[in-house]
Amino acid sequence: MRKEVDITVEMDLAEAAAWLARLQGEGRTPQAEAAFKVWLAEPGHADAFARVTDTWDVVAGASVSKHEGWRWRPAAALAAGLATAIVLIAGAAVVLGPDTYKTAVGQQQTMTLSDGSRITLNTDSRVEVDYSKSERKVALERGEAFFEVAKNPSLPFIVTVGDEKVIALGTSFVVRRDAGRTLVTLVEGRVSVSPRRPGPRRQDHPTILTPGERLTLATQAPPSIDRPKMDAVVAWRRGEIFLDDVTLASAVAEINRYGGAPIEVRDARVGALRVSGVFKAQDPAEFAAVVSQLHGLRASRDGAVWVIDR
């Protein structure tokens, strides 16, 4: 029986294949080599690159005619051969395609793209990357992502999420897609947020954010801008959840995003209590115990869930 390969290993192999194809093709530039060195230094990437290189030796050897001898294949052929090899390595893993990345519930993953830009995906998130000669496009299909954009004034970096598009240049920012709303928080640099298509929901001119600002676009409310605590916005990158005077119901919904035994609050009065603090992202039992102690509540198991009640 074949085993499913961990998504982190699978994504590392896919990235390694893309890097090898690029370094052997026309896309090899000093900038690409510098970005490759950054990627290679990250945990697990050197092993993945070594595996893909070994696999390419086998694939290339099998595809070269005896009469042709050894020679480098074009980058497209190289990438195709590596893609086939990675499928063999991945076994029963779900093959998403070279430009699609996703994380499972409770997982986080950082990818370095071909231009040196980096995307860090939060729990249960999915993006599709589509680079062309004229622009760099990333579609956030679900979840949350932290973007660190490599500067390239001639090649716009565009993130689409639902009906919105975010245009950045040499910028770091967070985009989160929830049911019924999109949040864009600018960490540094400058971004422009505008509708992908004209419509009656809000003004068609772009909203320009400055560092520290967060734009909230909700289906049933007008756009709003605030300045959240940045620790609260990026705490998930450290495996933490930063709660700043939110309702217990909202806090529980945030905790439940990261998996583990889910928490339920069945009393609306209990759900309205205010909560603040920093908690581990994947430890619902600890959260339930701490909050219950602070508010004089009771945390108990009811089958597979934790219940917080009076």
Surface-to-core class of residue 142, CB atoms within 10 Å of its CB (0-12 exposed, 13-18 middle, 19+ buried): middle
Distance, CA of 48 to CA of 197 (rounded, Å): 41
Name the token pair of 87. Answer: 């499928």
Q: What is the pLDDT along the chain (310 residues), one digit of tens a residue?
A: 333 334 556 566 667 777 776 676 655 677 777 777 777 878 777 777 777 666 554 444 444 433 443 344 444 444 544 444 444 444 333 334 448 999 999 999 999 998 899 999 999 999 999 998 889 999 999 999 999 999 888 889 999 998 899 999 779 999 999 988 999 999 999 999 988 665 555 556 789 999 999 999 988 888 999 999 998 899 999 999 999 999 999 999 999 999 999 999 999 999 999 999 999 998 999 999 999 999 999 999 999 999 999 9
The pLDDT value recorded for residue 245 is: 92
The pLDDT value recorded for residue 149 is: 95
Residues 6+ apart with CB under 8 A from 284: 255, 256, 258, 260, 261, 262, 263, 306
Q: Please report the DSSP string for the chain in residue order.
A: -PPBPPHHHHHHHHHHHHHHHHHHSTT--HHHHHHHHHHHTSTTHHHHHHHHHHHHHHHHHHHS-TTT-S-PPPHHHHHHHHHHHHHHHHBTSPP--TTEEE--TT--EEEE-TTS-EEEE-TT-EEEEEE-SS-EEEEEEEEEEEEEPPP-TTS-EEEEETTEEEEESS-EEEEEEETTEEEEEEEES-EEEEESS--SSS-SSPEEE-TT-EEEEETTEEEEEE---HHHHHGGGGTEEEEEEEEHHHHHHHHHTT-SS-EE---HHHHTSEEEEEEETT-HHHHHHHHHHHHT-EEEEETTEEEEE-
The pLDDT value recorded for residue 25 is: 60
Nearest to 189 by CA among 217, 205, 206, 166: 166
| 26, amino acid identity | E
The pLDDT value recorded for residue 69 is: 39
Other beta carbons within 10 Å of 59 = 20
Distance, CA of 135 to CA of 156 (rounded, Å): 5
Distance, CA of 17 to CA of 52 (rounded, Å): 6
- For the chain, list the domains and their CATH numbers: 7-98 (no CATH), 119-230 (2.60.120.1440), 239-309 (3.55.50.30)
The pLDDT value recorded for residue 157 is: 94
